[in-house]
Structure 1
Amino acid sequence: MFGVMKRRDDSSASGDIETIIGKNTKIHGEVSGTGNLRIDGEIEGELKLSGSVIVGETGMVTGNVSARSLDVSGTVHGNAQTEEGLTIHSEGQLIGDVKVNAFQIEDGGIFKGRSEMNPRAGIELKVRPQPAARPLQEQVSSVDISAKSSSKMAAQLKSSTKAEKK
């Protein structure tokens, strides 16, 4: 008769939450620190944390975010940079550019912006070599042959059309 409703435990993914901005709280200005932060209220300004940031369903951040990881169930309007990962949950949205090591968007999550993946330490980026360009003389010969072939085909078409009319 009664079902068990699963509730996502945000604290387990990011360790213990040291600071919570309640849903009736608004902060204007820079927020910085070393611990994990959960936002259920509003922050207008820059966030610089060495810990993780969780933006709850009622949370809203207007400003750039720099943190170890970012977990969005609410709204973020600003650029984000993380050392680890960024997750936008089904009810979350992030409008801005991101630079992260890992990026996950659940079905229904909204992301508008550009994403850039941080290169992993010790891994070289491989660049595929471009094929060598053909010498100009080869290209001109190809064009001449094509032009001759086209003229020949046009002449054949013209003569076959005359034959059909007779």
Structure 2
Amino acid sequence: MFGNKPKPAPKSKSTKIDTLIGQNSELHGDVIFSGGLHVDGVIKGNVYAESDSGSILSVSERGLIEGEVRVPNIILNGSVNGDVHAADHIELAENAKVTGNVYYKLIEMVRGAEVNGNLVHRGDKTQDFLPGPNHDTSADKKGDEENS
């Protein structure tokens, strides 16, 4: 009665999902997106989004990405075989498995998550995350070696 104010709804970390790769789908080739991408299926290729776009990638426990990931915000509960670059934030949930290096600005990691590679903190100085099809990755690797 008195003092019983309704509690505000909790703020959700999720964003609107614009693209869905379904559980029974397998995509071959690079994916370039903006907004929200949710993966329940398999992507055999790289996944890119602009570093300043605020885009978010979520991978369910059934999802698998075989390739490099360069997305500002990532919620991973599935598997990635390749390096993961999160310009802003990455959340590694209980079933997350990364076989490759994880480059991050802010990281959350739950018990049970697995990283078979290095965890590398990146400061405010980040590289462009959308290299495009003609991008020369040798310059990125040289920059990574200098930052080590």
Shift, 1:91, TM fit: 1.3
- Partner in structure 2 of residue 14 of structure 1: 14
Q: Whose strand fraction is larger, Structure 1's or Structure 2's?
A: 2
Shift, 1:14, TM fit: 3.3
SS at 2:13's partner residue?
A: helix
Amino acid at match of 1:58: R
Q: Is 1:87 the equivalent of 2:91?
A: yes
- Partner in structure 2 of residue 42 of structure 1: 42
SS at 2:124's partner residue?
A: coil
Task: Point out the structure with max Rg over C-alpha.
Answer: 1
CA distance in 1, matches of 2:58, 2:41: 11
**What is the correspondence of 1:137-156 to structure 2 with a 5 Å cutoff?**
none
Which 4+ runs in 1 deviate beyond 6 A? none
CA distance in 1, matches of 2:45, 2:14: 22
1:69 to 73, 81, 86: 73
- Report if aligned partners of 1:83, 1:101 keep a CA contact under 8 Å in 2: yes
- Partner in structure 2 of residue 131 of structure 1: none
- Partner in structure 2 of residue 118 of structure 1: 122
Shift, 1:120, TM fit: 3.3
Shift, 1:103, TM fit: 1.5
1:53 to 57, 61, 69: 57
SS at 1:58's partner residue?
A: coil
Task: Give the TM-score taking structure 1 as reference length.
Answer: 0.63
Residue-pair matches, total: 110
Shift, 1:72, TM fit: 0.8
Q: Whose helix fraction is larger, Structure 1's or Structure 2's?
A: 1
- Report if aligned partners of 1:97, 1:115 keep a CA contact under 8 Å in 2: yes
- Report sequence identity in percent: 25
CA distance in 1, matches of 2:22, 2:48: 19
Q: Is 1:109 the equivalent of 2:113?
A: yes
Task: Give the TM-score taking structure 2 as reference length.
Answer: 0.71
CA distance in 2, matches of 1:40, 1:114: 25
- Report if aligned partners of 1:44, 1:61 keep a CA contact under 8 Å in 2: yes
- Partner in structure 2 of residue 96 of structure 1: 100
Unpaired stretches in structure 2, ≥5 consecutive residues: 1-11, 126-148
RMSD between aligned residues: 1.2
Shift, 1:92, TM fit: 1.4
CA distance in 1, matches of 2:44, 2:78: 14
The higher-RCO structure (CA 8 Å, 6+ apart) is 2
- Partner in structure 2 of residue 129 of structure 1: none
Shift, 1:54, TM fit: 0.4
